[in-house]
Structure 1
């Protein structure tokens, strides 16, 4: 049995809360964590008593993003070993681009797409640093509440990548700010995220959980079918505007970046500008 990397509780009637519980490793994300979160979302979805889902994290920081300590082979093996099929791909340990693309699409893109479209309202609470792959969590949720000390970033341009798998940057930040933060690999504060419309509310750190729970209680008091219809209406509006197709297209470009780096550096990222990041080249999938 894999280690428990999340915690699930019911802090109020009609409210489920999923908490990243790997604070000793800055809540770094690996496939086990992803599939545990997916299981928790599924459980909350199937439980008719649950009307709202909160996603948060233990510790000083929300998440450091993907755990890049694992080799490609370990990553692919973890996805292969999981019996939680989410998307439409298989052969996760196939050679070359096939296996790596399939594994990452299943674990990081198809799961994100599923969470974004779960019919029940979702709230994400973010504190401290939320880096790169960790952006996927708040971005697929319906509402984001951040603490005043929250800082967001997607620095993967430095590693030779165009952005993380769930490329929602233009939708969350606007096209010009998305380009600025991607090109420079700079971070943006909770206040800036709020100004740009990415974050709903910014609150003191010690009020983060209570403010999220207060909103969840308010939402849970509304008719459940109406909540589901309203969520689907907004998501479909974004889809009609092209968000779904844009995310699909950006994921293909994400993997073009990986393929290039594997070919040049024998690793999925370019270590040139990050001394010590890849002291041992990692074989391509």
Structure 2
């Protein structure tokens, strides 16, 4: 496991040729801070180079898959000049790392997946979620543009009209709703989640490895083209929103445990 020895916020466990990867900030609902974000930017390259695995299961420690971005980290990006620049670079690396990883990546949504957490889950190849889990991309709820991949993947999975309904409101949906509209593959009882994911992972491990890998890469050609055409612009918009009064208000309101009051900027003013 030497390839993964220096990770601080991600755990790794082998089950035969299955590599189980766990986001490990349970006390923060696996929200990304600077350390976890940087590790996510390189982990899928390291996974691709791992000679001892053929299938990956990605999950979260504790009761959440990932609660998106850590609010304290967001304040740091506001306070630091050009603080979003590194985050934007890493965001692209996360998305393209998932797209370009030849090994099938199965998302095991053990709990809620929000914001970047939802993006990471949705860029996985097959998504299983516990029935109690919810998923959504509430970037706009904190005055942020959904620029780190949500604008790419949501319309491809559920169409533009539905995607815009959820991305423009930040509304969450249940695992059952997500499965019914095709956003995820399966919503299953929580006590069956591990067994269902293990059985699917074992099915892939028993298959023709190269055919499976190259089929994934063939399917992802169009997705990669879309990400290439969209990510720079969407991240540039997100970087701009990082400097807005509405985003600062949302971050401050979260810290003060109150609802944000938006409306600091209007079109044409």
Per mean C-alpha deviation after superposition, the further-off stretch among 157-166 and 185-194 is 157-166
Contact 1:159 1:274 in 2 (8 A): no
Q: 5+ residue gaps in structure 1?
A: 77-92, 280-285
Q: How far apart, in 2, do the equivalents of 1:14 and 1:38 lie?
A: 23
1:271 to 235, 245, 249: 249
Distance of aligned partners of 1:248 and 1:4 in 2 relative to their CA distance in 1, 3 Å threshold: same
What is the CA-CA distance between 1:230 and the residue it aligns to?
A: 0.4
5 Å matches for 1:58-207?
58-70=61-73, 73=76, 95=81, 99-167=82-150, 168-207=153-192
Contact 1:6 1:20 in 2 (8 A): yes
2:206 is matched with which residue: 221, 241, 255? 221
- Give the drift of 1:40: 4.4
Is the alpha carbon distance of 1:31 and 1:112 closer, same or farther for their aligned partners in structure 2, counting shifts above 3 Å? farther
**In structure 2, which of residues 228, 232, 235 is the aligned counterpart of residue 248 of structure 1?**
232
Aligned equivalent of 2:51: 48
Contact 2:59/2:108 (CA < 8 Å) preserved in 1? Answer: yes
2:71–2:254 CA contact under 8 A, matched in 1: no
Give the Cα separation in 2 of the matches to 1:3 and 1:117: 21
Give the direction of change, closer, same or farther, for the CA distance of 1:174–1:17 in structure 2 (3 Å limit).
same
Matched-pair contact (CA < 8 Å) for 2:134–2:175: yes
Instruction: State the alpha-carbon separation in 2 of the partners of residues 42 and 238 from structure 1.
Output: 18
Deviation at 1:276, TM superposition (A): 4.8
Compute the TM-score of the two structures, normalised by the length of structure 2. 0.82
After TM superposition, give the deviation of residue 106 of structure 1 in Å: 2.2
The alpha-carbon distance between structure 1 residues 181 and 22, as it changes in their structure 2 partners (threshold 3 A), is: same
Q: Distance in 2 between matches of 1:59 and 1:121?
A: 24
Question: How far, CA to CA, are the matches of 1:45 and 1:273 in structure 2?
Answer: 36
CA RMSD of aligned residues (A): 2.8
The offset of 1:254, in angstroms, is: 1.7
- State the Cα distance separating 1:71 from its structure 2 match: 5.8
Deviation per residue, 1:110-149 (Å, 9 max, x gap) = 2222122111111011122211121122122111111111
Aligned mates of 2:252, 2:43 — CA distance in 1: 35
Instruction: Give the superposition deviation at 1:41.
Output: 3.3
Aligned partners of 1:128 and 1:151 also within 8 Å? yes
- Shift of residue 3, structure 1, vs aligned partner: 8.0
Shift of 1:272: 5.6
Query: Hey, what does 2:261 align to over in structure 1?
Result: none
Per-residue CA distance 1:175-216 (angstroms, 9 max, x = gap): 111121123221111111112212111111111122111111
